[in-house]
Structure 1
Amino acid sequence: MKMKKNSIYFLCFFFSSFLFGQESADSFSKSVWVSDNGDGTYTNPIINADYSDPDVIRVGDKFYMTASSFNCIPGLPILESNDLVNWKLINYGLKKQIPSNFYNKAQHGKGVWAPCIRYHNKEFYIYYPDPDYGIYMIKSTKAEGQWSEPILVKKGKGLIDPTPLWDDDGKTYLVYAFAGSRAGIKSVLVGCTMNAEGTVANNDEVLLFDGHQDEPTLEGPKIYKKNGYYYIFAPAGGVATGWQTAFRSKNIYGPYENKKVLDQGASKVNGPHQGAWIQTKSGEDWFIHFQDKGIIGRVVHLQPMKWINDWPIIGIDTNGDGIGEPVSTYKKPNVGKSYPVVYQKESDEFSKPKLDLQWQWHANPQINWGFPSSYGYYMLNCIPKPKKAVNLFDVPNLLLQKFPSEEFTATTKLNVNFNFDEEEAGFLVMGLDYCLLRIKQTESKLYLSQMICLNADKNQAESEAATVLLKGNIVYLQVKALADGICTFLYSEDGTDFKNIGIPFKAREGKWIGSKVGFVAQRNGFINNAGNVKIDWIRFNKI
């Protein structure tokens, strides 16, 4: 009899799991945004999400990208592609930020600024700046493998946007720019020598170019060598309003000629800003850069590129003035064969004992914040609020992912397990303004409230827009985001009948990052048995 009961239980469990798996697979989009048109062309942006300051290299048949991550951890995302159009997030170079005592707290807009990825002597290198501490380097033999601990290559405030060059004669150089907010100077590019290992940058800086007259807000350099010329690609004119300039010289230290090679022109692509030159094995030249789209952050574009009279032209020169304009739709790069579409990972069933890579925290994660599991949920614990936190802006244990596009619907199922009154958890859209669907226990009852905070970065308090009493501890929450940033929020207690709650909310970008969506759990004060919320799943759909 015992054997039969166990067998029946197993069959029921297997059958229900199969149905649940089918329901899961059918209940969300593979990806909210897809660039590959499936007919040999692509539409920009190739990644319609916040991957600021992208840098790209080719190693063999594959391409690798990294980007800024600022205070979000894990940091230094690493993406892989076979064709420059379809990208997959495969790893992070930085598991925590140093110094730890500083980055264990939320430090908005600080941390990892524009990085540079290179491949040298069979190793991957990433140089990244922390504008408050200096220029760091990490490396690995495999992009998807374990990366080394950061080495401070050059100490100093305001040193940003480093790019190394291992020259043909064995000498090694580092080119970088300055953040006026820390260094007190800006719009200049300098270069110095490094040791052969690229671990120490010497104090022998030489001015390479002063951009104050023709190239204001000059930053983001990437240095290359081709046909005896040293080339520096760098944006100027500001993130949302600028252009791409190319500099060339026969000598590493200059003097450099400069030429504008890409601007907005008649296109709708403002900026266009900082990026990387890449060449395919077939010899085609391409340029990847970002566009600042405000609420959703800085998205990634791919432009064709060609050389005329030893000058690069990026995009398409529509009017013959020698300056390229960004393309909207274009034929895909020739990489020898066709590759399938890669869908960005957004939805999550939380069915693995490891967080998927799309999730980041707002500070170095601590061991008691939460746990993945094999039980089909992520347990997010009610951690004490920081004592001086007026709102969520200074709360470090926010589990968030990037907006996947301008328009989407995200629905989540939560199982609330509070042990005490005043414990709370919720689902939020986070930025300089934020909106939180907060579940809070009061007098042993659960209340769902829409909480809105405007100018969170300026220590403004939350306001309550609406509150309902929940019948049970399982609740489904949903946000619908539109292209203008307007978000509406809904809830359900059965997963079928969704009701609006509160008022429309206009999303807003964060500090140098786009708006994000995700979860938080917290409480007032420390207790030895805090409650938690079990995140069953989150599913994204196109609108």
Structure 2
Amino acid sequence: PWTRPHLVKEGLGLIDACPLWDEETGEAYLVHGWARSRAGFNNRLTGHRMSPDGDKVLDEGRTLVDADLLPGWFTLEGPKTYRHDGRFWILAPAGGVATGWQGAFRADSFFGPYEERIVLSQGDTDVNGPHQGGWVRTGAGEDWFLHFQQTGAHGRLVHLQPMRWDADGWPVMGDDGSPVRVHRKPDLPVGPAARPAVDDGFPGGAFGPQWQWTANPGADWTRPHEGRGLRLTCVRTDRADDLRSVPHVLTQRLPAGARTAEVRLRLASDTPGARAGLVVLGDAYAWIGLERAPDGRPLLAHRFAPGNADRERDAARAVPLPGGTDTVLLRVEVTADARCRFSYDAGGGPVRLGPEFAATPWRWVGALLGLFAAAPEGEGHAGTGVFTDFRAPAAPDTAAR
């Protein structure tokens, strides 16, 4: 079991901490960066001696790298620290998440002075950033570097770069410092091809590990049962008109590449104003789903909220479901550049609803696919939204790559 968290160092704006245990001396160290929004400054890395058990820092700390003194460097952050070839190393990105580069710093002593070099940058490639990452040495002795690339609504994509050491002892990443898209794999045992889970049948009312709530979960937000489908409680709230401000949206990352996400929904609620649906959630968002009208009819609704609005508005006029049914197949087609087209199928074939919606990142985490159920404030249980067979297969040209 995990111990309870404990405070190693107190302060405002301390970010991106990385420990190092020096196997040669038995000493331990800690390096971290700074967030200007809380500390009032950034672009520097601070180092401490640390107790070997990781319980506390042992000194006031010193600035290891002040990038304000390095021409052209800004927003230095995300340090990873290592020992290699008798030296102390810090690998850290600078220049901004979407526009920066990967730096390497080395010194004979942990507290410096450090030399610096840019070891990975976008160059003429389409891999912008490249941002925060780490060095990995395999059991076969090969060196590789993992980093991410900021891609807007599709979030942060992870890349694996080959790495070697030049005659002067500096790391060389990618193709002489530029990211590569294609390269031989690491020399490791061959395993089956796999990708992160996306689809979910919700057996027994449970959801898979690819899903997460947008805030700490409530115990009564789902309804376990013996059959199929996910039963989301129509949580009563006065903020159902802004899904960015409520905690009970169940989400997963917007998968990269073109694909169509679909899920079948039944609105098991007689409460006027109760609603449930499929949402593409970001700083701006849009959803399609069902809402119970004051006269008891289930209405097909499609709404969106711009990034500068504090509540949603209609993206299309709400329409009654045909034939008195309360079940519908919801669908959103997402293009490779994250443009979304919403539609539904109530048994008569797919019907497009509303204009095209451009997905946007939610702060820095990319856009999310989500399921939700909500109801106006009031007393008593407001029913559930029952979701079955969530699927989001990749488009054929994406799946082949």
TM range (shorter): over 0.9
Q: Is the 8 A contact 2:303 2:312 kept in 1?
A: no
Q: Alignment partner for residue 384 of structure 2, among 532, 536, 539? A: 532
* Identity score, percent: 38
| Paired position in structure 2 for 1:419 | 270
Q: Does 1:364 align with 2:222?
A: no
Q: Secondary structure at the match of 2:153?
A: helix
Q: RMSD across aligned C-alpha pairs, in angstroms? A: 1.6
| Paired position in structure 2 for 1:326 | 179
Report the Cα distance in structure 2 between the residues aligned to 1:356 and 1:149, rounded to whole angstroms: 26
Q: After TM superposition, give the deviation of residue 203 of structure 1 in Å.
A: 4.8
Report the Cα distance in structure 2 between the residues aligned to 1:150 and 1:373, rounded to whole angstroms: 35
Q: Alignment partner for residue 488 of structure 1, among 333, 341, 349? A: 341
Higher relative contact order (CA 8 A, sep 6+): 1
Q: After TM superposition, give the deviation of residue 151 of structure 1 in Å.
A: 2.5
Q: Secondary structure at the match of 1:295?
A: helix
TM-score normalized with structure 2 length: 0.93
Q: Does 1:171 align with 2:27?
A: yes
| Paired position in structure 2 for 1:161 | 16
Deviations 1:347-403 (A, max 9, x none): 000014542111011110011111354411111001122x46751111110101001
Which 4+ runs in 1 deviate beyond 3 A? 146-149, 371-374, 387-390
| Paired position in structure 2 for 1:198 | 54
Q: Secondary structure at the match of 1:287?
A: strand
- After superposition, the Cα gap between the structure-2 partners of 1:268 and 1:151, relative to the gap in structure 1 and judged at 3 Å, is same
Q: Does 1:380 align with 2:232?
A: yes
| Paired position in structure 1 for 2:367 | 515
Report the Cα distance in structure 2 between the residues aligned to 1:373 and 1:539, rounded to whole angstroms: 21
Q: Does 1:402 align with 2:261?
A: no
Q: After TM superposition, give the deviation of residue 460 of structure 1 in Å.
A: 4.4
- After superposition, the Cα gap between the structure-2 partners of 1:195 and 1:452, relative to the gap in structure 1 and judged at 3 Å, is same
Report the Cα distance in structure 1 between the residues aligned to 2:223 and 2:9, rounded to whole angstroms: 37
- Unpaired segments ≥5 residues, structure 1: 1-145, 318-323
Deviations 1:235-286 (A, max 9, x none): 0111111000100011000000001100011111011001010011110000
- After superposition, the Cα gap between the structure-2 partners of 1:203 and 1:438, relative to the gap in structure 1 and judged at 3 Å, is farther
Q: After TM superposition, give the deviation of residue 166 of structure 1 in Å.
A: 1.1
Q: Is the 8 A contact 1:481 1:487 kept in 2?
A: yes
Report the Cα distance in structure 2 between the residues aligned to 1:223 and 1:350, rounded to whole angstroms: 42
Report the Cα distance in structure 1 between the residues aligned to 2:328 and 2:205, rounded to whole angstroms: 23
Report the Cα distance in structure 1 between the residues aligned to 2:390 and 2:339, rounded to whole angstroms: 20
- After superposition, the Cα gap between the structure-2 partners of 1:388 and 1:353, relative to the gap in structure 1 and judged at 3 Å, is closer
Q: After TM superposition, give the deviation of residue 462 of structure 1 in Å.
A: 2.5
Q: Does 1:440 align with 2:298?
A: no
- After superposition, the Cα gap between the structure-2 partners of 1:149 and 1:325, relative to the gap in structure 1 and judged at 3 Å, is same
TM-score normalized with structure 1 length: 0.69
One-letter amino acid of the structure 2 residue matched with residue 192 of structure 1: H
Deviations 1:74-108 (A, max 9, x none): xxxxxxxxxxxxxxxxxxxxxxxxxxxxxxxxxxx
| Paired position in structure 1 for 2:159 | 301
One-letter amino acid of the structure 2 residue matched with residue 355 of structure 1: F
Q: Is the 8 A contact 1:355 1:372 kept in 2?
A: no
Q: After TM superposition, give the deviation of residue 519 of structure 1 in Å.
A: 0.8
| Paired position in structure 2 for 1:120 | none
| Paired position in structure 1 for 2:6 | 151
| Paired position in structure 2 for 1:463 | 314
Report the Cα distance in structure 2 between the residues aligned to 1:462 and 1:180, rounded to whole angstroms: 36
Q: Say how many residue pairs are matched.
A: 388
Q: Does 1:216 align with 2:74?
A: yes
Q: Alignment partner for residue 175 of structure 2, among 316, 319, 323? A: 316
One-letter amino acid of the structure 2 residue matched with residue 303 of structure 1: Q
- Unpaired segments ≥5 residues, structure 2: 396-401
| Paired position in structure 1 for 2:43 | 187
Report the Cα distance in structure 2 between the residues aligned to 1:202 and 1:370, rounded to whole angstroms: 47
Q: Alignment partner for residue 250 of structure 1, among 99, 108, 132? A: 108
Q: Is the 8 A contact 1:391 1:462 kept in 2?
A: no
Q: After TM superposition, give the deviation of residue 449 of structure 1 in Å.
A: 1.2
350-359 or 247-256: which moved more?
350-359
Deviations 1:270-322 (A, max 9, x none): 110010100111100000000000111111000000001211011011xxxxx
Q: After TM superposition, give the deviation of residue 199 of structure 1 in Å.
A: 2.3
